[in-house]
Amino acid sequence: FTVPRTTGMLQFLYLFVTYNFCTTICYTAINLPYGSLSSMMIRESSERDKLSVLRMGLSPIGKIVAATCTLPLVKLLGNDQAAWIKVMSVWAVLEEKVQIEARKKDEKLPIPTMLKALFANQYFWAVMLLWTVQSVSFTITGTILPYYCKYIFNNDTWMYSALFLTETLVLVVGIFICSPLIKKFGKRNIAFVGGFVALGGQILFFLNPYSFGFMVMSCVTRAIGLAPLNAVVFSMVGDVVEFGQWKNHIRQESLIFAGGSIGTKVGPILIAAVIIVTLFGYKLDKMYPAIMQELTEREAHGQL
């Protein structure tokens, strides 16, 4: 938010360095110890489920405050770069600071041994994919929503705040409701059903993308569907730690949570990989001239 007024290339370099420093280094240094604490604090999966529900149910409160108040505050303070700096300074001052002393390991294993055990843990890959999809989904919708409100509804202030607040509140309520459902039906089952509900919410949006009412219904339905996965994903990561210990006789809280975190950061890479794989099999460019020549000859003879 303090990009200097200089050439475009220097601004790009400044943005590239500061953004990645913030999101890849600082955020990771905070989030990995914070995430891996659940598997160290509690060994019972059912108790860890409750901890995961509380974590994911209460964490959106900060998002609600920031998302609902940021744009109005920026406009109130002048709607320029100085206003953004002032508002972000307020959020930085209010952010909680926590220091965590990592658990000391009695035995240090070689990195190849640890990575081999990690890669052999099949449920690590499953949960990493779920964590990645969850993060990419929130990133995409959170990034697009203010611009959608601005250019489709011509209102990027109260409409955006209302939609974001509504979806987040429904998500929070849904996460807490999941607590008894987890005990009765299991983590996998409620997240599985929730995926279909979230898909229905997204399809609902496509039925009338220019209607604010349909957008509200879409956000509410999507939040209901995503609530189960949000409620259980970090508890599932803790279960993966126990599974890895059972299978390989190696307990890897930090490495498993770090691996899952990497998954959330390589989401765009996965999308790019899909593009590359798809285009690798796309041979139409080479075939097109011959196809057109044959079509011309067939049409000249009255054939399709």
List, as one string, the DSSP characters of 81-129. HHHHHHHHHHHHHHS-----PPPPPSSPPPHHHHHHHHHT-HHHHHHHH
First to last CA, the chain: 60
- The predicted model scores a pTM of 0.67
Q: What number of other Cβ atoms are within 10 A of residue 100's Cβ?
A: 11
Does residue 131 contact residue 240 with C-beta atoms inside 8 Å? no
pLDDT averaged over the chain?
84
Measured N-to-C along each axis, helices 45-58 and 212-248 cross at an angle, to the nearest 10 degrees, of 150
Dump the DSSP string for 260-278. HHHHHHSHHHHHHHHHHHH
Tell me what pLDDT residue 297 has.
92
Rounded CA gap, 162 and 169, in Å? Answer: 10
Tell me what pLDDT residue 35 has.
73
Helix (H, G, I), strand (E, B), or coil: what is residue 304? coil
Residue 160 CB contacts under 8 Å (≥ 6 apart), including other chains: 67, 71, 145, 146, 149, 150
- What value does the CA radius of gyration of the chain take, rounded to a whole number of Å? 24
pLDDT tens, N- to C-terminus, the chain (304 residues): 788 888 888 999 999 999 888 877 887 777 777 777 777 777 777 787 888 888 888 877 777 777 778 888 888 889 888 888 888 888 777 655 544 444 454 457 788 888 899 899 999 988 888 888 888 787 788 888 889 998 999 887 788 888 888 998 899 999 999 989 998 999 999 999 999 999 999 898 888 889 999 999 999 999 999 999 999 988 888 888 889 888 988 888 888 888 777 766 666 776 677 778 888 888 888 888 999 999 999 999 888 8
Tell me what pLDDT residue 107 has.
58
Look at residues 59, 30, 8 and name the one whose alpha carbon lies nearest to residue 176: 59
Helix (H, G, I), strand (E, B), or coil: what is residue 154? coil
Does residue 175 contact residue 53 with C-beta atoms inside 8 Å? yes
8-state DSSP, 22: I
Which residue has 């475009």 as its token pair?
8
What amino acid occupies position 196?
F
Six token digits for residue 170: 């429904």
Tell me what pLDDT residue 31 has.
75
What amino acid occupies position 261?
S
Rounded CA gap, 88 and 145, in Å? Answer: 20
